[in-house]
Amino acid sequence: MTDTLTPLLALSRNLGEPHHDYVILGEGNTSARIDADRFWVKASGVSLVGITGDGFVQVDTSKILAFLDEDLSDTAIKDRLTAAVIAGSGRPSVETALHALALTLGGARFVGHTHPTAVNAVLCSRQAEQAVSGRLFPDEIVVCGPAPLFIPYIDPGLPLARAVREGIERHIRQYGEPPRVILMQNHGLVALGQTAEAVEQITAMMVKTARILLGTYALGGPQFLSPEAVARIHTRPDEHYRRGRLQSNTGSTRGNDE
């Protein structure tokens, strides 16, 4: 077991805990960057809750990224995913290309993809895109960044991965940094973190945001913060300090009391 796999296992088990209501059955997947050439990703069909080292495969990053620009059938994609395995048994999840992008272009070291009920209540609604188009409260910005990347529904697999690639590039041009949250319409959430703990914090804060958002629609809809207020919180030195403290707090997602 490497240093990367240990925190990845803890992250995966925590995200899979039933009380969070982030995933059920074999839903969701996680990954971690080993180095520039390799990453760990959950094998297809394995449940996050209680997952062990056997539930992960080590894959070749460049082999996964290479097939994004090819026109491959579903069968060919599965063969290519299997061919990219360096270590471990099992087949990498079909969402592995998405993880490869988050761990390279997206600058993440750990990634958690879940289907939280609260987030999907928003993302499966008629007002999904409008509902996530603004920020609601300062801690959302501190933990989840100035904006999530919203991806309109598209066929999972290669079309989705290509849309995510374009979306991350657009987000970097607009905000000068990669997104920490990707929201995929009618699908779920991807949290991009520098640490396993950051992925848990981002996921928990996005779920809280979704619950608050759903609540606002009972009282006339969300009152978004102004873009100036969002930018101010995102760039304030004391908020940088808080973010640094949050990320060095390796205890739990419940450590933020401010």
Residues that bind Zn ion (CB under 5 A): 188
Residue with Cβ nearer Zn ion (58 or 114): 114
Phi, psi of 109 (to 5 degrees): -105, -25
Residue with Cβ nearer Zn ion (188 or 222): 188
Residue with Cβ nearer Zn ion (16 or 188): 188
Smallest distance, Zn ion to C-beta of residue 94, A: 9
The residue nearest Zn ion at its CB is 188
Smallest distance, Zn ion to C-beta of residue 27, A: 7
Smallest distance, Zn ion to C-beta of residue 150, A: 15
Residue with Cβ nearer Zn ion (14 or 93): 93
Smallest distance, Zn ion to C-beta of residue 77, A: 16
CA distances 106 to 58, 111, 137, 252, Å, are: 19, 10, 24, 24
Check residue 218 and report its DSSP letter.
G
Would you call 180 helix, strand, or coil by DSSP?
coil
Contact present, 43 and 91 (Cβ < 8 Å):
yes
Contact present, 164 and 101 (Cβ < 8 Å):
yes
Dist. CA 30–CA 79, nearest whole Å: 21
CB atoms within 10 A of CB 31: 31
Residue with Cβ nearer Zn ion (128 or 142): 128
Smallest distance, Zn ion to C-beta of residue 113, A: 6
CA distances 123 to 6, 89, 191, 214, Å, are: 32, 34, 15, 11
